[in-house]
Structure 1
Amino acid sequence: MVFVGKWNLVVLMLLLLVSTFATVVRSDASDHRYKSKDPVPLYANKVGPFQNPSETYRFFDLPFCSPAQVKEKKEALGEVLNGDRLVSSPYKLDFLVDKDSELVCKKQLTKEEVAQFRKAVAKDYYFQMYYDDLPVWGFLGKVEKEGKSDPSEYKYYLFKHLHFEISYNKDRVVEINARTDSNALVDITEDKGVDVDFMYSVKWIETNIPFEKRMEKYSQTSSLPHHLEIHWFSIINSCVTVLLLTGFLSTILMRVLKNDFVKYANDEETTDDQEETGWKYIHGDVFRYPKYKSLFAAALGCGSQLFILMVFIFILALVGVFYPYNRGALFTALVVIYALTSGIAGYTAASFYGQLEGTNWVRNLLLTGALFCGPLFLTFCFLNTVAIAYSATAALPFGTIVVIFLIWALVTSPLLVLGGIAGKNSQTEFQAPCRTTKYPREIPPLPWYRSTLPQMAMAGFLPFSAIYIELYYIFASVWGHRIYTIYSILFIVFIILLIVTAFITVALTYFELAAEDHEWWWRSFLCGGSTGLFIYGYCLYYYYARSDMSGFMQTSFFFGYMACICYGFFLMLGTVGFRAALFFVRHIYRSIKCE
């Protein structure tokens, strides 16, 4: 009954999430319908170095022309977490109103402002705006090197004219593009004040593209034939890995198990005095509870919650919630779903801790709540301090921090406690097919390659090899400007990752038991989660070999948040590995007579 009730709660949570995101993503102009000369909202968002996606600043941190009264757009939680800071812009792009060389403002740049713009142009700064919820980008200027190797001889130019081309279908905006006039330049090479006439022009073009498909152009790059070919190659590579692994297990492991079953059956029929060897020899120790069982149960609880979190994220992605440039929807989903699924962590940890005959369930719940949130909170405090020092938009406002704290205090923590109480009261016993002896057997000396670290390296390599091709596209979208939209392929890769993790953990657990090493509990968890360490190793390769990111802020954000993500994968895949190993161990010891 507890199980059924829990999944009813899960279904209810999913329905609430879908209805929530169906309303959160609407814009100010909710119907997106306009009449001729109606004002259409254009918001200036942020500026920053093109190669450093985390290092973004408010649009008017640079001395652009600003409207008489800058109004900030009210943003959702996910938008703030995404670093969006939308404010009103000085450009007036009224519906169906063409403009030719409209003056924004005449601005006299001081020496300091010129140096500020030159520094931004040298770092390849871009700007981002949103027009009727459609993204607009452009670069601030250009650098002319003219074959000169000395940077002091470079020429720096600022673009002063911006041309907007807007496509419409009847009474709706469908597409917008912004380009700069390469002939309208201001030389900002020298440290001296200059006068700049900032201009813009607008051209409206009728199109037959329906409003419902206006976001498709942003996802076309990820679904081009050559990209799809690489994605399918990734899946084929992963499937081959799965087939090889399952074939290995079916032809070798199952044959060995069959021989073991026959051998142990013959031993029981011939004599009871014959000395037992192999995994049957340790049947009195294999279900002995692990050390640090409170920590172990807490890790399983956190891993189970993160697994359910991933399932919900994929469900929302597959039903089309995370379309391109749906500002902050993913971050909102992560925060909301994590808060709502904290009861799963409490229930799993407390129930398993009770099965292991643990008594201090309050400490176990505290450990469960802090095991993942603790490192994430410390990392956030450090990185938010760095963002504040840089005056970047990645620094969360105080109000947003209060909202997140209230979500944790009023939703996450109570659900964790309620789940823990339900798990504590479930009163289930650990299902062990063999009785555990009073004193543990001594583990025989094992070769070095059977120790924990080499086993983790072997266990993490195969799952990582099944996903590493797809990792590049994920990294390029999270830490770059690519757009990832093929969630169906990503979901298949995720399923393959789970299968390979489970199978390789089962194989290594059998070899560990065959060597008469009965301390498999923590080993199976560590081996299953070791793929997270390989993913973090890939972070080093991606940062230094595949990206152009630089600077202390970008480096700290990349490695800091990727450490939290990889730690989450470690907990989740460790839980998957242990659950698979537990099912396998119970099965083989239930299949023989151990008493």
Structure 2
Amino acid sequence: MKCSRSAGLLVLAASFNISLAFYLPGAAPHNFKQGDPVPLFVNALTPMLTGSSTAKLKSLINYDYYNPRFHFCEPTPGGPVKQPESLGSILFGDRIFNSPYDIKMLEHNSSCQTLCLQSNVSAEDAKFINDRIRDDYALNWLIDGLPAAELKIDSRGDYFYDLGFNLGNDEGPFKDTTPALNNHYDIVLQYHSPTPGNYRVVGVLVWPSSIGGSQQDTPTCDTDNSHPLVLSEQQTNSIRYTYRVTWNESDTPWATRWDSYLKVLDPRIHWFSLINSSFIVIFLCVMVSMILIRSVSRDISRYNAIDLSEDVQEDWGWKLVHAEVFRTPSYPMILSVMSGNGAQLCAMLAVTMVFALLGFLSPSNRGSLATVMMVFWSLFGCIGGYISSRVYASLGGTERRKNVFMTATILPTVIFTIVFLLNLFLLGAGSSGAVPFGTMLLIVLMWFGLNGPLCAIGAYIGSKQGSVAHPVRVHQIPRQIPPGPRYLQPWAAALLSGILPFGAAFVELYFVLSSLFASRAYYAFGFLALTACIVGLTTATVTILFTYFILCAEEYRWHWRAFLTGGGSAFWLLAYGLFFWASRLSLHSLSSAILYLGYLLLLVLLHFLITGTIGFLASYWAVRRLYSSIRID
């Protein structure tokens, strides 16, 4: 994490409202007849945040539903059959299989149905299950593309669907003791009839319960007058899984069936964050206008009013470094590569956000968001190559082939290395979230087989256009740089400049991190798009301001400083990520801790590249405009 003002806000707000109700274009509803089988698919078990404000996420490891240590009932004959998934779905840990549940449209199984009896659950497996219950793991089912959910009430008293339902219960009398396993499920399916004889699934609710006692007797599914099922960690256990199905008619049409799932909890927080961020941007724009328009315009008029016939012409302030300001910086290759990769990521995020606002990335199409981001990142390699080649040429670079190669390979290689190492920890923990080898090979082919050639094409176009023309010449002998104030030192300036962009986004950042790490549904793309625009504008404005300050301090090495200043909010993102860990996570395993730190560092790296590129390119534009407005003798 990202105008006529009132008109722009109205358009984006309308886009946000449309995105909540708009279904994935091209997707067709599935009409069932009475008695038609309604398949229930199972997904991976994921750790979840409970409703308590003090609850903490205890793990980041997902598990296959049919992991043999859980002893869930498997379909017969043939066993579980894996369902096809998209690239993004696989990357986010979805592992979908069929199930043995027998559900038919409008057939009420009000009687107790036995799914299976597992009579050989060892003590070791019982401990494994109990540990997952203590870690608040949730089961994830899918019926007609809708996830199973629990019905909950938000702070305003409105009902919403919370994705997934608990594997077991360790609250109340079971807290700090052996928890209870939920082995009975009351499944309530909501349907809508658009035409007589045709029925569509519009809601899936599950109430899990724990029924103990003898697992060999005839089941009654009496959840009110039974003791919970507590698995012994000293002996072999038996588990009988039962369920009941109830059909309820609903007025909710198929096109808006996701509204209850995608409810924005307390939108006042989002609006407060957005209004607060808007005031920050307005304040910055006013401040920069006062400094740059008044001060710079006065300086320019002052310089241009000097009589050229005078023998002595005194320079001061930023004009003193006019012969140094476009001197080639240190490591121009690395700077241009980072700028190209940052521009590529910016383009990918912008287009993805537009698709999300228009409703094309509905969560009904699982993994579509991640898939679109991966595809557009590869396709926009031409933008990365173009920006990198032009920046490199403008900085005086001559090794253009090396520049193309590094632009196309360095960032994908770094990301692949980090993901590969994290994948080893997932494999070691037995997690279903481990990316299969075939999927990783496909990603490598996309990055290097598609992104590479497109990057070369973009670089070729950029090299044909050549370098950006500079308004002043560079002296052969570098000018001595006087000591500057401490607040303009590189790291101090980066931290100071990063406060405002981070302050504009930190509220929305909480919801994004909760979605990424706590399996929370996030679909407030309207708020996210506005926040991203504000962060981008704030980053550009602050970086231009600090660049002007360092030029006034006769520090002409502004290139790297502009990139570092623009990316300063990434350091605050890292600090906030560690705070989020301390306040909302309670990770017990080393694998979960390493996974969180690894993914957080990956987010910080990408954020630094995006905001650093925005700051650098904005400063480059401002410096050229500044020095092209005065006469240089």
Normalising by structure 2, what TM-score?
0.85
Contact 1:306 1:572 survives alignment (8 Å) = yes
Quote how far apart the aligned CAs of 1:196 are: 2.7
Q: What is residue 345 of structure 1 aligned with on the other side? A: 384
What is the identity, as a one-letter code, of the residue corresponding to 1:504? V
- Aligned with residue 64 of structure 2, among 49, 58, 79: 58
Quote how far apart the aligned CAs of 1:351 are: 2.5
Query: Aligned with 2:327: secondary structure?
Result: coil
Aligned-partner Cα distance in 2 for 1:357–1:250 = 32
Aligned-partner Cα distance in 2 for 1:484–1:124 = 20
Matched, 1:449 2:487: yes
What is the identity, as a one-letter code, of the residue corresponding to 1:143? D
Aligned-partner Cα distance in 1 for 2:592–2:536 = 31
Bigger mean CA offset, 53-62 vs 188-197: 188-197
- Aligned with residue 403 of structure 1, among 442, 445, 453: 442
Matched, 1:277 2:338: no
Quote how far apart the aligned CAs of 1:549 are: 4.3
Query: Aligned with 1:166: secondary structure?
Result: strand
CA RMSD across the alignment: 2.1
Task: Describe the shift of the 1:116–1:547 C-alpha distance in structure 2 as closer, same or farther (beyond 3 A).
Answer: closer
Q: What is residue 88 of structure 2 aligned with on the other side? A: 78
Query: Aligned with 1:177: secondary structure?
Result: strand
Query: Aligned with 1:484: secondary structure?
Result: coil
Contact 1:536 1:563 survives alignment (8 Å) = yes
Quote how far apart the aligned CAs of 1:451 are: 1.4
Contact 1:78 1:330 survives alignment (8 Å) = yes
Aligned-partner Cα distance in 2 for 1:472–1:48 = 19
The 5-angstrom pairing of residues 221-240 of structure 1 reads: 222=264, 224=265, 227-240=266-279
| 1:374-395 superposed Cα distances (whole Å, 9 cap, x missing partner) | 3211111110000010111111
Q: What is residue 167 of structure 2 aligned with on the other side? A: 140
Query: Aligned with 2:44: secondary structure?
Result: strand
Task: Describe the shift of the 1:530–1:25 C-alpha distance in structure 2 as closer, same or farther (beyond 3 A).
Answer: farther
Q: What is residue 471 of structure 1 aligned with on the other side? A: 509
Matched, 1:32 2:30: yes
Aligned-partner Cα distance in 1 for 2:89–2:517 = 17
Matched, 1:106 2:117: yes
Contact 2:47 2:518 survives alignment (8 Å) = no
Aligned-partner Cα distance in 2 for 1:379–1:508 = 33
Query: Aligned with 1:534: secondary structure?
Result: helix
Bigger mean CA offset, 259-268 vs 118-127: 259-268
- Aligned with residue 201 of structure 1, among 236, 239, 244: 244
Aligned-partner Cα distance in 1 for 2:136–2:268 = 32
The 5-angstrom pairing of residues 164-563 of structure 1 reads: 164-170=187-193, 171-182=199-210, 183=223, 185-220=228-263, 222=264, 224=265, 227-268=266-307, 271-324=310-363, 326-426=365-465, 428-563=466-601
| 1:421-461 superposed Cα distances (whole Å, 9 cap, x missing partner) | 222233x2321111111111111122322211111112111
Aligned-partner Cα distance in 2 for 1:586–1:408 = 34
Aligned-partner Cα distance in 1 for 2:59–2:32 = 33
Quote how far apart the aligned CAs of 1:144 are: 5.6
Contact 2:409 2:448 survives alignment (8 Å) = no
Quote how far apart the aligned CAs of 1:130 are: 0.7
Quote how far apart the aligned CAs of 1:554 are: 2.5
Quote how far apart the aligned CAs of 1:31 are: 4.2
- Aligned with residue 179 of structure 2, among 150, 156, 179: 156
* Count of residue pairs the alignment pairs up: 562
Quote how far apart the aligned CAs of 1:135 are: 0.6
Bigger mean CA offset, 62-71 vs 540-549: 540-549
Bigger mean CA offset, 95-104 vs 105-114: 105-114
What is the identity, as a one-letter code, of the residue corresponding to 1:130? L
Q: What is residue 131 of structure 1 aligned with on the other side? A: 143
What is the identity, as a one-letter code, of the residue corresponding to 1:159? N
Quote how far apart the aligned CAs of 1:200 are: 0.8
5+ residue gaps, structure 1: 1-21
Contact 1:512 1:518 survives alignment (8 Å) = yes
Contact 1:25 1:326 survives alignment (8 Å) = no
Q: What is residue 133 of structure 2 aligned with on the other side? A: 121
Task: Describe the shift of the 1:272–1:368 C-alpha distance in structure 2 as closer, same or farther (beyond 3 A).
Answer: farther
| 1:175-197 superposed Cα distances (whole Å, 9 cap, x missing partner) | 11111235353221442223332
Query: Aligned with 1:186: secondary structure?
Result: coil
Aligned-partner Cα distance in 2 for 1:270–1:444 = 30
| 1:268-319 superposed Cα distances (whole Å, 9 cap, x missing partner) | 4573414322111111111112221111111111111011011111111111
Contact 1:375 1:564 survives alignment (8 Å) = no
What is the identity, as a one-letter code, of the residue corresponding to 2:428? A
Quote how far apart the aligned CAs of 1:251 are: 2.3
Aligned-partner Cα distance in 2 for 1:335–1:347 = 19
What is the identity, as a one-letter code, of the residue corresponding to 2:417? L
Task: Describe the shift of the 1:24–1:214 C-alpha distance in structure 2 as closer, same or farther (beyond 3 A).
Answer: closer
Aligned-partner Cα distance in 1 for 2:472–2:378 = 39
Query: Aligned with 1:299: secondary structure?
Result: helix
What is the identity, as a one-letter code, of the residue corresponding to 1:65? C
Report percent identity of matched pairs.
31
Query: Aligned with 1:217: secondary structure?
Result: coil
What is the identity, as a one-letter code, of the residue corresponding to 1:565? L
What is the identity, as a one-letter code, of the residue corresponding to 2:200? R
Bigger mean CA offset, 386-395 vs 325-334: 325-334
What is the identity, as a one-letter code, of the residue corresponding to 1:49? P
Contact 1:82 1:327 survives alignment (8 Å) = no
- Aligned with residue 87 of structure 1, among 97, 100, 118: 97
Bigger mean CA offset, 445-454 vs 83-92: 445-454
Task: Describe the shift of the 1:32–1:53 C-alpha distance in structure 2 as closer, same or farther (beyond 3 A).
Answer: farther
What is the identity, as a one-letter code, of the residue corresponding to 1:430? V
Contact 1:287 1:436 survives alignment (8 Å) = yes
5+ residue gaps, structure 2: 1-22, 49-56, 149-163, 194-198, 211-222
Bigger mean CA offset, 182-191 vs 354-363: 182-191
**Greater relative contact order, per chain length (Cα 8 Å cut-off, separation 6+):** 2
